[in-house]
Amino acid sequence: MPNQEPRPNRWEHESKKSSWDAKLGPERARYTWQYLAAGYAAVWATENTREALWDAMKRREAYGTSGSRITLRFFGGWGFAAADARSRFLAETGYEKGVPMGGDLKAAPAGAKAPSFLVAAMKDPRSGNLDRIQIVKGWLGKDGKGQEKVYDVVWGDADRRKPGRGQAAAVGKHRGHGHGDLDEHHRRPELAAVWTAPTSIPRCGPSTTPRHRNPDPRWTAYDAARFGSSCRPRSR
């Protein structure tokens, strides 16, 4: 759409009317500044054929991103060790010791208390370095309702660790308001780790999902740097 191509004031263009619930009032304008970059989906297929791609989607060995084209690997099992995250053959180790993303964990061997997960991510060559990898753990509570907790698994700068909390402090955004350059001091091109689920989480209907966080500038910041404009969003 011509109105959404780069130009000094494209952020303020009224792109369409959005539908709102009757309780919230009549239809209201939706502006270009409210739109984000399109998402992407990726699958780990054995070859670039329709059949192989279909098989990969059927076994759920796939993931999605909201813009940045990262490369993600994720495996679950009962015998991963910390050294596996430093292996040159991380994927081979993942398939050998566990199941890939989208798979179901095998029955726990005798004496095993909690599963472990091998996760690794590589940056998008055209985007910023990686801030951190998180794992979102979900399970059913005793009341049958869904429960969820987010864990910081690995991050770019060990000094940002919050003592005793297993979390990392927030990383700074891009340098200076209105500029598109990134503060890469606390980030890394690649991150990998082995994480063991807390034994306090029940095994009843669990789900484990990795996610990568990277506070990259929005397209409005690049427009501001390029055109010298200032994005002052209107209220909806």
Break the chain into its structural domains and give their ranges: 38-67, 68-227
Q: What is the token pair recorded at 201?
A: 């989480």
Quote the mean pLDDT of the chain.
77
3-state SS class at 86: helix
Query: Does the structure show a pLDDT above 70 at 29?
Result: no
User: How many other CB atoms sit within 10 Å of the CB of residue 103?
Assistant: 15
What percent of the chain shows pLDDT beyond 90? 28
Our CA dihedral for 85, 86, 90, 93, rounded to 10 degrees, sits at: -70
pLDDT tens digit string along 131-171? 888 888 887 778 888 888 888 888 877 655 544 445 555 55
Q: Give me the amino acid identity at 124.
A: D
Between CA 226 and CA 96 the distance in angstroms is: 49
The rounded distance, in Å, linking the Cα atoms of 121 and 124 is 10
* Better pLDDT: 35 or 56: 56
CB 117 within 8 A of CB 211: no
Query: What mean pLDDT comes out for the span 117-131?
Result: 88
Residues in the chain: 236
Residue 2's pLDDT is 62
Query: What are the Cα distances from residue 156, in Å, to 22, 112, 131, 159, 168?
Result: 46, 30, 6, 9, 9
pLDDT of residue 171: 55
Residue that the structure tokens 């979390």 belong to: 167
More confidently predicted of 229 and 137: 137
| Pick from 17-26, 68-77, 170-179, 198-207: least confident | 170-179
- The residue with greater pLDDT, 106 or 170, is 106
pLDDT in tens, 193-211: 999 877 665 555 556 777 6
